[in-house]
A and B are shown apart, each in its own frame.
Chain A
Amino acid sequence: MIMAKQSDREFVTMTEQQKRARRNRSVALGLGLAALVIVFYVVTILKVDPSALFNRQM
């Protein structure tokens, strides 16, 4: 961890491993949230009309 003083604030430069770990967590969180959106979207449709996704006349 490298610290550099800039004005009255101190900053931390992340190591490569820390950057990789943060990216890994961010991607997983993004995928998890996207899955949650899809799940709640489908659940809502099924709750409103249980036959909406099945038995639909084409």
Chain B
Amino acid sequence: MAYVDKSAVDDAAFRLSEATAADFVELLKPRVMSLVVFTAFVGLAIAPASLNPFLALVSIAAIAIGAGASGALNMWYDADIDAVMSRTASRPVPSGRVTPGAALAFGLVLSALSVMTLGLVANWLAAAMLAFTIFFYAVIYTIWLKRSTPQNIVIGGAAGAFPPMIGWTAATGTIGMESVLLFLVVFLWTPPHFWALALFKSGDYERAGVPMMPNVAGEASTRRQIFAYSLLVAASGVLPAAFGYSSWAYGLAAALLGAGFVRYAWDVLVAGATDLKPAKALFGYSLLYLFAIFALVLVDHIAMRMLG
């Protein structure tokens, strides 16, 4: 039995929560977190400095929770948009399982906790970068850019690109050129990845009033921009080898993966207006591409260290 302020007892203003822990975990966007864990781990593992394995593990967890916290803040602010999009309507806030206030508090507490933990465990430069990433995703992207410009995902993509840099900085205490190249790969990969999604979900974004590229510049322009970005993605994947940080074996594999990306983007470019299959195929391939590039960077560094 719980005591309740009488002034608040009415169905509209008051209800007891039926949210479970799983609903709060869902606020963290676990699928995005898994990508953050992987890219941050690669950044940390290839850094030319060693961190105690347990401290490294806690650092990766802090970066992941920081990313999850920004996801919770995004779901708090975007509940109105999420409610009218088929892909996001069942999220905890629009479905009513978690109140907006609880999502906001959850995001803010985890943001502070993750930044403080990373600062204490690794270093304060990495913690400052994590804090900036959370701010960038929650405020610059979610609150400002997402509803105001079709370039939202281009600029906002920086937030998703920071984790490998933060992982690197957690190990070294500095910002390295090699980690900047990994940032560049994710940053340039983000627009074609999300515009491919927007092509086959443009109705969703239009209903929600989100100015994504297909419903602002048109689908033909979006297809052209996807293809242009795919060339940049393919080039960025090879950069670690071009700068001498990775072997030419990596460079060759990255070039082949990049050629695949360009091929899928070409299919999107020449597809008919009603043919959504190439966009779906590119979306799927782009996920595979990013995972493969980071896995190759990791394997290549391990091999180079073992071979001396």
Contact = CB atoms under 8 A, between A and B. Distances in A.
Interface of A: 1, 3, 9-15, 17-18, 21-22, 24-25, 27-29, 39, 42-43, 46, 50, 53
Contact of B3 (A11, A18, A43): A11
A1 B16 contact: yes
Contact of B4 (A12, A15, A39): A12
Most B CB atoms within 10 A — which of A9, A12, A28?
A12
Interface stretch (B52-60, B151-159, B161-169): B52-60
B120 to A, nearest CB: 7
Interface of B: 1-4, 6, 9, 15-21, 24, 52, 54-55, 58, 120-121
Given A3-B9, A43-B58, A46-B54, A21 B20 contact: yes
Nearest to B120: A43
A14 B19 CA distance: 13
Nearest to B2: A12
Nearest to A22: B17
Contact of A11 (B1, B20, B121): B1
A43 to B, nearest CB: 6
A17 B6 CA distance: 23
A27 B252 CA distance: 50
A25 B22 CA distance: 9
B9 A10 contact: yes
Nearest to A50: B52
Nearest to B20: A24
Given A17-B18, A25-B21, A9 B6 contact: yes
B3 A21 contact: no
B21 A28 contact: yes
A46 B17 CA distance: 40
Contacts of A43: 54-55, 58, 120-121
A33 to B, nearest CB: 11
B19 A1 contact: no
A46 B120 CA distance: 12
Given A46-B52, A50-B52, 16 more contacts: A3-B4, A9-B6, A11-B2, A12-B2, A12-B4, A13-B1, A14-B2, A18-B17, A21-B20, A25-B24, A27-B21, A28-B21, A43-B54, A43-B58, A43-B121, A53-B54
Contacts of B19: 21, 25
A28 B2 CA distance: 21
14 contacts: A11-B4, A12-B9, A12-B16, A17-B18, A21-B18, A22-B17, A25-B24, A27-B21, A29-B21, A43-B55, A43-B58, A43-B121, A46-B55, A50-B52
Contact of A21 (B9, B17, B54, B120): B17
A12 B55 CA distance: 46
Contact of A39 (B15, B17, B18, B58): B58
A52 to B, nearest CB: 10
A55 B237 CA distance: 40
Nearest to B15: A1
Closest 8 CB pairs of A and B: A28-B21, A21-B18, A24-B20, A18-B16, A11-B1, A10-B6, A12-B4, A12-B2
